[in-house]
Chain A
Amino acid sequence: MGAVQIQAQDIHVGNIVWLRENDEVPCDLVLIGTSDTQGLCYVETAALDGETDLKTRVIPSACMGMDFELLHKIKGVIECPNPDKDIRRFDANLRLFPPFIDNDLCPLTIKNTLLQSCYLRNTEWACGVAVYTGNETKLGMSRGIPEPKLTAMDAMIDKLTGAIFVFQIVVVMVLGIAGNVWKDTEARKQWYVLYPIEGPWYELLVIPLRFELLCSIMIPISIKVSLDLVKSLYAKFIDWDSEMIDQDTGIPSHATNTAISEDLGQVEYILTDKTGTLTENRMIFRRCCISGIFYGNESGDALKDVKLLNAVAGSSPDVVRFLTVMAICNTVIPIKSKTGAILYKAQSQDEDALVNAAARLHMVYVNKNANILEIRFNGSVIQYEVLETLEFTSDRKRMSVVVKDCQNGKIVLLSKGADEAILPYAYAGQQTRALVEAVEQYAQLGLRTLCLAWRELKEDEYQEWSLMFKEASSTLVDREWRIAEVCQRLEHDFEVLGVTAIEDRLQDGVPETIETLRKAGINFWMLTGDKQNTAIQIALSCNFISPEPKGQLLLIDGKTEGEVCRSLERVLLTMRITSSEPKDVAFVVDGWALEIALKHYRKAFTELAILSRTAICCRVTPSQKAQLVELLKSCDYRTLAIGDGGNDVRMIQQADIGVGISGREGLQAARAADYSIGKFRFLKRLILVHGRYSYNRTAFLSQYSFYKSLVICFIQIFFSFISGVSGTSLFNSVSLMAYNVFYTSVPVLVSVLDKDLSEGTVMQHPQILVYCQAGRLLNPSTFAGWFGRSLFHAIVVFVITIHAYAFEKSEMEELSMVALSGCIWLQAFVVALETNSFTILQHLAIWGNLVAFYVINWVFSAIPSSGMYTIMFRLCRQPSYWITMFLIVAAGMGPVLALKYFRYTYRPSKINALQQAERMGGPILSLGNIEPQPRLMEKEVSPLSITQPKNRNPVYEPLLSDSPNSTRRSFGSGAPFDFFQSQSRLSSSYSRNCKDN
């Protein structure tokens, strides 16, 4: 509070930090005092977890009531765990030294802390003791470097690079040996070269090393730079996309990870969360069942059910108790706005829905003042004192509060939770049948159910338990587990009051999105913490699975190993039989069976995972979600995990691609994810448009980068055969550098604007995503095509150049410039031929680059001291130079164009067919042409996707094992049919189809 400025870095652990309203918390603090008499203060944690609602923080009980002056002199010890990144846990103890009141251990939780980067709000001042500072704060620890993700494409490019490297070594060794032999047999006779008679032994290495230098350009370094550049542009396109802006909130999509856009186009499995991802997570209280009476069944809205309204008006005791639990069994904070309306700040959407519904039914939760709650029912105000809050955890699946009725002093336990967490603990005599039915019925409708329960506690029972609870909450080890155990002792013998049913509507466009993506050959798994029935209902309503005749659900259940095993075997058998039929078979597994299956029958379950296109996993924990992702990844599938809540974070981080929905459960998932989108339906665009384009573009760009390096390298190699295998470079170093860095990288960079098909066509025919998924555009065989093309072009350039510039024209600088310009001309036409859509930028880059090449070389030719002095001027004046250039272009591009045209017209891939349909003609042509196609494709796609893992191997593996062979083969024969990408086997069946038309 002095005038001295203190930097946050100078705060040490143990210092007392004072904060004023709207201050940012500089380090992790344990709260010891606030301006509030109840010891409360409010913080905004948006920067930490993205949740925008204010959270209350409270000073530990030991510090309660201490005044301003005393806080300056406070002394004590805080025992706290080592720094970690869990922003929801802080298991510590505080002991104050005399003269301060008791020297009892006082437990500290996250509720007693102010974490770095939060803001103090609505509180005049607060003070706290620094416990973690600098990089040891919760924020600092969670900042950690995320594991870099490698796309399938990058892995493929790395493999190809490896293959090229091997090829390079072979070339260097062969030429090195040839060079040494030539030197010993021929060059020694050539007096003008003046080789020393005897050289040191390492002379032998000189020629191989020269060739290594010459061939080092074979692996393009520019590819990394180009790829990084285009990848960041792909990410920008996602950020910019106005069709992926959430209209409700105005939040655009965002690519946090800029390096993995291509993977989006290769997704094979999507693992999705249900709540908040498929559904809106906008909870609306729809129905309820109170002591066996169903409300809201007719109208579909309990709040309008006259029966219920009458019961409320009549203060029927069951209904009143039910409403009381709805209103106060929660962690909601009511805030009075200036207009007098009450706003509820709830961390869970369910609680929010319940409290609001209770308010609509005249049980209004008015105020919370420290531990005193006020509710107003039918005009009368009732006060409760909250004694304990037994918080919700995903393991316990319920939460309870212990409150004391201020009027009569009765202590009651109020609970709400999942049916299986409440109903088994009902008191011995209660008839729960109606409730079970209600739960069933509601789940059938896809509603979320909660059971509400209540129990009166005796004073001494509570006191006894309270001690245990206190002790449990101050343990440092396994606190969560200990607390759960203690809670269990109180939460039994419930009187179950009823069941609430909350509707969570499907987001817009979810069924369409899922249908489209499944047509694209992507398999969907739903992983949810919800009940089986609810999950299945939601799955049905969003096209996840098909209803009976077409679809079939197979259930894996069982409580013991044996049962699970049998059930798994049975499902597997059915799967194997039906996998050949065009039937939608899905399996359903719950968390318990999944645990056993993953532990003991991993192999069988893996096989099941491969066979099945759809799965519903319900009642699964966050770590199980992550395990499932891991399982699919281990089968070499590209997985995409999408979720919105904190419980999806692990799965999102685990998956190849994590997508977070920046939804109502906070931004935790979105922050952990590689991509964050506002709505589930944007996934379609993200994958089909952005993912697919990225894949196509990178496939072209990377292979082209290799191609252009290989062209120049092959020319150097050929030249070495006519220069005495001595390792002379035909091109000077400036040209070589400019060739790789400038002349050839600029035109290809604009391929980021290339679109082979329009977005609309892709959306209509999602089946073509198969080309990306199966890696048809970048694999060893397409690469072999590019390799062949580079060899062919190198031969064309070299042969034409040395023959056209023979004898008196064979001057070195001129000849090298002719060869170089030949390459540049060819490059321009290769890029132009491979470009599917020309925007103005592409024209600029391709033809502008050609012009720039001449301008740059004219500049160099104008400098007297450069080796190229006057060369380009001389060449440009020669008619033979221009004839040579056109000859190179025609000879180099003619066969390529002819082959491309032939493939395109007579052996078209589905992409080609769609291109033709899209561009050639109006709707009539495209309708006539394409209509039969989906049918055909579906047949093809479904067996394809199932057999993919087997299919893949023959395509993928030859790369490493015989690439040197294959390259050598094509080197020798110059196989004319190799230089175009061999595209697909699918095409033949399509052409048959074409003829039928």
Chain B
Amino acid sequence: MTNTDRERHRERETAFYLFTQQRLPACKPVLTPAWVITIFLFTGFIFIPVGLVTLRASRSVVEIVERYDTECVPEPFRIDKVSYVQDDSIPKNCSLSLKVRKYMKAPIYIYYQLDNYYQNHRRYVKSRSDRQLLHGWKYHATSSCQPVEFNNNQPIVPCGLIAWSLFNDTFTFIRERAELKVNRKNIAWKSDRDHKFGKTVYPFNFQNGTLIGGGKLNPRIPLSDQEDLIVWMRTSALPSFRKLYGRIEEDLDADDVVVVHLMNNYNTYGFGGKKKLVLSTSSWLGGKNDFLGLACVFVGSSSVILAIVFMLLHLKSRR
């Protein structure tokens, strides 16, 4: 026992001694042709299959994207869309018919996509109060919410630009005269519902003032159940983004026609934004996104090409 202890101590001492003498055992890899060519080949052989699998997963996703912001403005209003969308007296309903090209397996995710919409603008992204969302209007230090902090000298719950500009188009889906069941629950992150948005916090003084932004909230439902708001408040880092609206829990067959009745309330006309409706299935990788697969294949094949080039160079220089 003591012997091994002493030995260990001596070992530690010698290790430290080697360190002080800069003589710690070291491995010194060399970039030999064999190594480098192997590394590139290996990278290639990993990335090409991974890329192909990824690409396959992405291609297996069926996706229907329909832009509706221009079509849904009636012909006479198309000159001045902004005043159309701001005029409450004009009915905003509109219908689209979507043709399903391929069989879509449930759950089918419904997204709304906004393009050219800067949820990542500094002024916008900061304008929220996480504490207020969790603790309600009792929490007063909401200066970050400016310019949507107070209305009529009363605090706004939820305050801030993000909540104020809540997306408020609504969609209903009809297939062969029967309404498709859309599940609008559990579209937000569970962690947000449980820990970020208060269960006892109710909307208060929201969209009440002269300045009307986006959608309104039902003041009798606590914030933790206002899932559209929770989804909206997970701001996007990109100016083009999709947010989950709900799930269709029935399969759609090829050549089915889905009619969408929607309320075209949200103003994207002022800044040239686009609104799209997206129906998409999902794979283990998520939605349809060919980029990863293509990039992997590209990187993999470049590696193989580099490996071949280096091999040739090596053979040539050896001769």
- Of A185-193, A301-309, A380-388, A529-537, the stretch lying at the interface with chain B is A185-193
Q: Does A897 contact B292, Cβ atoms closer than 8 Å?
A: no
- Of B72-80, B95-103, B114-122, B252-260, the stretch lying at the interface with chain A is B114-122
Set A187, A240, A878: member contacting B20, Cβ < 8 A: A240
How distant is the Cα of A804 from the Cα of B94 in the complex, in angstroms?
33
- Of A412-420, A651-659, A809-817, the stretch lying at the interface with chain B is A809-817
Q: Which residues of B contact A905 (CB under 8 A)?
A: 31, 33, 313-314, 317
- Of B2-10, B36-44, B173-181, B220-228, the stretch lying at the interface with chain A is B36-44
Q: Does B285 contact A193, Cβ atoms closer than 8 Å?
A: no
A806 at the interface (CB under 8 A from B): yes
How distant is the Cα of A878 from the Cα of B54 in the complex, in angstroms?
13
Q: Does A880 contact B292, Cβ atoms closer than 8 Å?
A: yes
How distant is the Cα of A815 from the Cα of B306 in the complex, in angstroms?
31
A920 at the interface (CB under 8 A from B): yes
**Distance between A196 CB and nearest chain B CB, rounded to angstroms:** 8
How distant is the Cα of A237 from the Cα of B191 in the complex, in angstroms?
52
Chain B 163-190: CB-based contact to A (< 8 A → 1; otherwise 0): 0110000000000000000000000010
Q: Which residues of B contact A806 (CB under 8 A)?
A: 238, 240, 289, 291
Q: Does B120 contact A812, Cβ atoms closer than 8 Å?
A: yes
Q: Does A804 contact B123, Cβ atoms closer than 8 Å?
A: no
Q: Which residues of B contact A867 (CB under 8 A)?
A: 130
Q: Which residues of A contact B161 (CB under 8 A)?
A: 192-194
How distant is the Cα of A595 from the Cα of B128 in the complex, in angstroms?
78
Q: Does A869 contact B196, Cβ atoms closer than 8 Å?
A: yes
A68 at the interface (CB under 8 A from B): no
Q: Which residues of B contact A815 (CB under 8 A)?
A: 237-238
Q: Does B306 contact A894, Cβ atoms closer than 8 Å?
A: yes
**Distance between B132 CB and nearest chain A CB, rounded to angstroms:** 13
How distant is the Cα of A240 from the Cα of B271 in the complex, in angstroms?
68
How distant is the Cα of A894 from the Cα of B306 in the complex, in angstroms?
9
Q: Does A812 contact B306, Cβ atoms closer than 8 Å?
A: no
Q: Does A900 contact B31, Cβ atoms closer than 8 Å?
A: yes
Q: Which residues of A contact B164 (CB under 8 A)?
A: 192
Q: Does B111 contact A879, Cβ atoms closer than 8 Å?
A: no
Set B26, B43, B121: member contacting A723, Cβ < 8 A: B121
A864 at the interface (CB under 8 A from B): yes
Interface size class of B (residues with CB under 8 A): 35 or more
Set A241, A840, A869, A880: member contacting B21, Cβ < 8 A: A241
B287 at the interface (CB under 8 A from A): yes
B147 at the interface (CB under 8 A from A): yes
State whether A802 and B299 are in contact (beta carbons under 8 Å apart), knowing that A838-B27, A839-B24 are contacts in the complex.
Answer: no
Which B residues between 193 and 220 are near A, CB-CB below 8 angstroms?
Answer: 195-196, 211, 213-214
Q: Does A808 contact B120, Cβ atoms closer than 8 Å?
A: no
Set A194, A236, A804, A811: member contacting B148, Cβ < 8 A: A194
How distant is the Cα of A938 from the Cα of B47 in the complex, in angstroms?
48
Q: Does A808 contact B299, Cβ atoms closer than 8 Å?
A: no
Q: Which residues of A contact B43 (CB under 8 A)?
A: 890, 894
Q: Does B122 contact A723, Cβ atoms closer than 8 Å?
A: yes
State whether A800 and B295 are in contact (beta carbons under 8 Å apart), knowing that A723-B120, A724-B121 are contacts in the complex.
Answer: yes
Q: Does A811 contact B21, Cβ atoms closer than 8 Å?
A: no
- Of B136-144, B151-159, B241-249, the stretch lying at the interface with chain A is B241-249
Q: Does A728 contact B121, Cβ atoms closer than 8 Å?
A: yes
**Distance between B304 CB and nearest chain A CB, rounded to angstroms:** 11
Which A residues between 954 and 971 are near B, CB-CB below 8 angstroms?
Answer: none
Q: Does A807 contact B289, Cβ atoms closer than 8 Å?
A: yes
Q: Does A810 contact B238, Cβ atoms closer than 8 Å?
A: yes
Q: Say what secondary structure dominates the interface of chain B.
A: mixed
Set A724, A805, A878, A891: member contacting B120, Cβ < 8 A: A724
Set B122, B123, B234, B286: member contacting A811, Cβ < 8 A: B234
Q: Does A864 contact B195, Cβ atoms closer than 8 Å?
A: yes
A299 at the interface (CB under 8 A from B): no
Set A891, A906, A920: member contacting B30, Cβ < 8 A: A920
Q: Which residues of B contact A915 (CB under 8 A)?
A: 28, 30
Q: Which residues of B contact A811 (CB under 8 A)?
A: 234-237
**Distance between A292 CB and nearest chain B CB, rounded to angstroms:** 58
**Distance between A205 CB and nearest chain B CB, rounded to angstroms:** 15
Q: Does A812 contact B125, Cβ atoms closer than 8 Å?
A: yes
State whether A726 and B147 are in contact (beta carbons under 8 Å apart), knowing that A186-B271, A816-B237 are contacts in the complex.
Answer: no
A836 at the interface (CB under 8 A from B): yes
Q: Which residues of B contact A722 (CB under 8 A)?
A: 120, 238-239
A803 at the interface (CB under 8 A from B): yes
Q: Does B270 contact A189, Cβ atoms closer than 8 Å?
A: yes
How distant is the Cα of A904 from the Cα of B29 in the complex, in angstroms?
13
A362 at the interface (CB under 8 A from B): no
Set A724, A879, A916: member contacting B285, Cβ < 8 A: A879
**Distance between B92 CB and nearest chain A CB, rounded to angstroms:** 17
Q: Does A189 contact B271, Cβ atoms closer than 8 Å?
A: yes
Chain A 883-918: CB-based contact to B (< 8 A → 1; otherwise 0): 110110011001001101110111000000001101
Set B122, B189, B271, B317: member contacting A191, Cβ < 8 A: B271
Task: Find the residue from B113, B124, B130, B314 having the highest chain A CB count within 10 A.
Answer: B124
How distant is the Cα of A719 from the Cα of B130 in the complex, in angstroms?
24
**Distance between B214 CB and nearest chain A CB, rounded to angstroms:** 8
How distant is the Cα of A187 from the Cα of B24 in the complex, in angstroms?
59
State whether A894 and B299 are in contact (beta carbons under 8 Å apart), knowing that A242-B21, A838-B29 are contacts in the complex.
Answer: yes
Q: Does A808 contact B31, Cβ atoms closer than 8 Å?
A: no
How distant is the Cα of A870 from the Cα of B119 in the complex, in angstroms?
21
Q: Which residues of A contact B287 (CB under 8 A)?
A: 807-809
Set B27, B243, B295: member contacting A808, Cβ < 8 A: B243
Residues of A that sit less than 8 Å from B by CB: 186-187, 189-196, 210, 236-237, 240-243, 693, 719, 722-724, 726-728, 730, 753, 755, 800, 802-813, 815-816, 836-842, 864, 867, 869-870, 878-880, 883-884, 886-887, 890-891, 894, 897-898, 900-902, 904-906, 915-916, 918-920
In the complex, given contacts A187-B121, A894-B43, what are 9 additional A-B residue pairs having Cβ atoms less than 8 angstroms apart?
Answer: A186-B271, A195-B123, A210-B122, A803-B289, A804-B295, A813-B234, A841-B24, A891-B295, A904-B31
Question: Considering the complex of A and B, which 9 residue pairs feature the smallest CB-CB distances, nearest first?
Answer: A240-B20, A192-B165, A837-B26, A726-B122, A839-B24, A864-B195, A815-B237, A723-B120, A728-B122
Residues of B that sit less than 8 Å from A by CB: 19-22, 24-33, 36, 39-40, 43, 46-47, 50, 54, 109, 111, 113, 117-125, 130, 147-148, 161, 164-165, 189, 191, 195-196, 211, 213-214, 234-244, 267, 270-272, 284-287, 289, 291-292, 295-296, 299, 302-303, 306, 310, 313-314, 317
What are 15 inter-chain pairs, A to B, with CB distance below 8 A? A190-B270, A191-B267, A722-B120, A726-B121, A727-B122, A753-B22, A800-B295, A805-B237, A807-B113, A864-B191, A864-B196, A869-B195, A894-B40, A905-B31, A916-B30
